[in-house]
């Protein structure tokens, strides 16, 4: 199916049609990651687009192909990045746009959407997750007779995303390199469908690996069931890929073009975000960090001496989310624990607990609830610099006969 739908010359023409607002993003060699994993790792920096994500490519192409039908206006639904792409495209083409976003969308993405669209767009907040916003957007577009620009299950959007595959191969060729592996995030599947379709048609030997966040692995579930299925619940931490149900079109393309899908835990993504920010000054949103995070799950023998391209899909990080990202990072590293401690209501009970703490153990949260009986209950969060310190603390607490719970397990 994908070989019939992706036309190489068409993709080249789409790239040529792009306005000056759409960059050919750099392909950067990462010395740190290459050394760490024993291979050559290149980063395709779609986070450096004007809208800080690849989404402008598909949105521009879809609206461009509407021709005179653009006059009816456009509607889209998005968790944030597609919204910004459509908003900018509306401004470029001077068409009216109504953009539906979940109420849980980070404020930074909402404000940037308004900024890129200016007077041409109106942002409407509906539902708590993407799929609920999409339902309202589809209803609105039908009622108003406006063009719905699907975020992923749309061949024109997918074809626009294929230009990333075109750029990767051209840029690697300039470096006299051919990628062995290309790693791409998966939400609804529009990005990987476009990239994989183009690359596989040019060179079927290149391995395409998709990456999903564990809390919204809808493509993996679709493949297990041989059809798109709707997840009963999702984790919206990686909001750029938090989709309950992938598209029928993208599912069909992924099934034929993607060699493997890796699922990574949300808390581990946080570690990648903070590491890149600290070590390389690269700002990525959770979805944008998926491809780099997945490298650790590829067996070392499969990476040795290989050339790997990681697509960094977006950098729309709301810095108000940093406390949550840090919290998840600390939990992933085992450096923070939440305890429920039961104190006998007598003098020095708290002092006995504090005396069990090591020199690097820090109480970062404390809430005490006095009981009518002989016991009082305190909820305490502790951070430390080595996860092994919690084992030492628990031994001291047990020796002091201090009752406590950790992660729902009675450690008395």
| Mean pLDDT computed over 2-16 | 82
Active site (annotated) includes residue 313: yes
242 contacts: CB under 8 Å, gap ≥ 6: 79, 129, 130, 187, 213, 215, 216, 234, 235, 236
180 and 290, same domain (yes or no): yes
Q: Which of 40, 44, 55, 109 is catalytic?
A: 55
CATH number at residue 356: 3.30.2130.10
Express each pLDDT in 102-137 by its tens digit: 998 888 889 999 999 999 999 999 998 888 999 999
Query: 113 lies in a domain?
Result: yes
- 325, 358, 389: which is the final residue of a domain? 325
**Structural domain boundaries, residue 162:** 2-53+155-325
173 and 300, same domain (yes or no): yes
Torsion angle, alpha carbons of 246, 249, 252, 255, to 10? -50
Distance CA(209)–CA(185), nearest Å, equals 9
What distances in angstroms separate CA 204 from CA 174, 201, 255, one per listed residue?
Answer: 20, 6, 14
Query: 247 lies in a domain?
Result: yes
Express each pLDDT in 134-172 by its tens digit: 999 999 999 999 999 999 999 999 999 999 999 999 999
Instruction: Check pLDDT > 60 for residue 410.
Output: no
CATH number at residue 113: 3.40.50.1100
| Mean pLDDT computed over 379-405 | 96
Active site (annotated) includes residue 55: yes
Residue 255: pLDDT band (50, 70, 90) is: very high
222 and 310, same domain (yes or no): yes
- 148, 175, 200: which is the final residue of a domain? 148
Query: 331 lies in a domain?
Result: no
124 and 258, same domain (yes or no): no
211 and 110, same domain (yes or no): no
Query: 330 lies in a domain?
Result: no
The predicted model scores a pTM of 0.89
Express each pLDDT in 188-212 by its tens digit: 999 999 999 999 999 999 999 999 9
114 CB-side CA count, 13 A: 8
| Mean pLDDT computed over 262-289 | 95
Specify the pLDDT at position 374. 86
37 and 143, same domain (yes or no): no
Number of domains in the chain: 3
Residue 373: pLDDT band (50, 70, 90) is: confident
Distance CA(366)–CA(343), nearest Å, equals 13
Name the β-bridge partners of 383: 336, 362
Instruction: Check pLDDT > 90 for residue 79.
Output: no
Instruction: Check pLDDT > 70 for residue 33.
Output: yes
Q: Which of 91, 159, 313, 336 is catalytic?
A: 313
For 31-40, 127-136, 226-235, which range has the lowest pLDDT when averaged over its residues?
A: 127-136
Q: Alpha helices of 55-189 — where are they, by DSSP H?
A: 55-64, 81-93, 107-117, 130-144, 155-174
Contact between 193 and 246 (Cβ < 8 Å): no
Specify the pLDDT at position 412. 46
């Amino acid at each position: 199916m994908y070989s019939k739908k992706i036309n190489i010359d068409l993709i080249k023409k789409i790239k040529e049609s792009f306005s000056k607002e759409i960059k050919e993003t750099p392909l950067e060699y990462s010395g740190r990651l290459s050394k760490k994993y024993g291979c050559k790792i290149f980063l395709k920096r779609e986070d450096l687009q004007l809208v800080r994500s690849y989404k402008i490519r598909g949105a521009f192409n879809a609206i461009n192909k509407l021709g005179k039908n653009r006059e009816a206006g456009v509607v889209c639904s998005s968790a944030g990045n597609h919204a910004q792409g459509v908003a900018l495209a509306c401004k470029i083409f001077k068409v009216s746009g109504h953009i539906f976003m979940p109420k849980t969308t980070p404020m930074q993405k909402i404000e940037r959407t308004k900024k890129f669209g200016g007077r041409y767009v109106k942002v409407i907040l509906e539902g708590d997750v993407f799929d609920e916003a999409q339902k309202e957007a589809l209803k609105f577009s039908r009622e108003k007779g406006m063009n719905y620009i699907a975020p992923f299950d749309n061949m024109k959007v997918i074809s626009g995303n294929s230009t990333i595959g075109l750029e990767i191969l051209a840029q690697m060729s300039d470096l006299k390199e051919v990628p062995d592996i290309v790693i791409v995030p998966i939400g609804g599947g529009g990005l990987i469908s476009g990239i994989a379709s183009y690359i596989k048609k040019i060179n079927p030997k290149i391995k395409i690996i998709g990456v999903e966040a564990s809390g919204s692995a809808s493509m993996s579930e679709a493949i297990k069931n041989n059809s798109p299925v709707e997840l009963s619940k999702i984790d919206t931490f990686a909001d750029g890929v938090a989709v309950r149900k992938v598209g029928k079109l993208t599912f069909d393309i992924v099934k034929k073009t993607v060699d493997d899908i890796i699922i990574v835990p949300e808390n581990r993504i946080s570690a990648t975000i903070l590491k890149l920010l600290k070590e390389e000054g690269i700002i990525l949103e959770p979805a944008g960090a998926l491809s780099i995070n997945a490298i650790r799950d590829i067996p070392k023998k499969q990476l040795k001496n290989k050339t790997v391209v990681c697509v960094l899909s977006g950098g729309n990080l709301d810095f108000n989310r940093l406390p949550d990202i840090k919290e998840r990072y600390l939990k992933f590293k085992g450096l923070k624990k939440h305890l429920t401690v039961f104190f006998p209501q007598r003098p020095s009970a708290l002092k006995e607990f504090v005396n069990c703490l090591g020199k690097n153990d820090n109480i970062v949260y404390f809430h005490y609830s006095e009981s009518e009986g002989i016991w009082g209950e305190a909820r305490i969060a502790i951070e430390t610099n080595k996860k092994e310190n919690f084992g030492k603390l628990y031994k001291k607490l047990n020796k002091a006969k201090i009752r406590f719970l950790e992660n729902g397990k009675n450690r008395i």
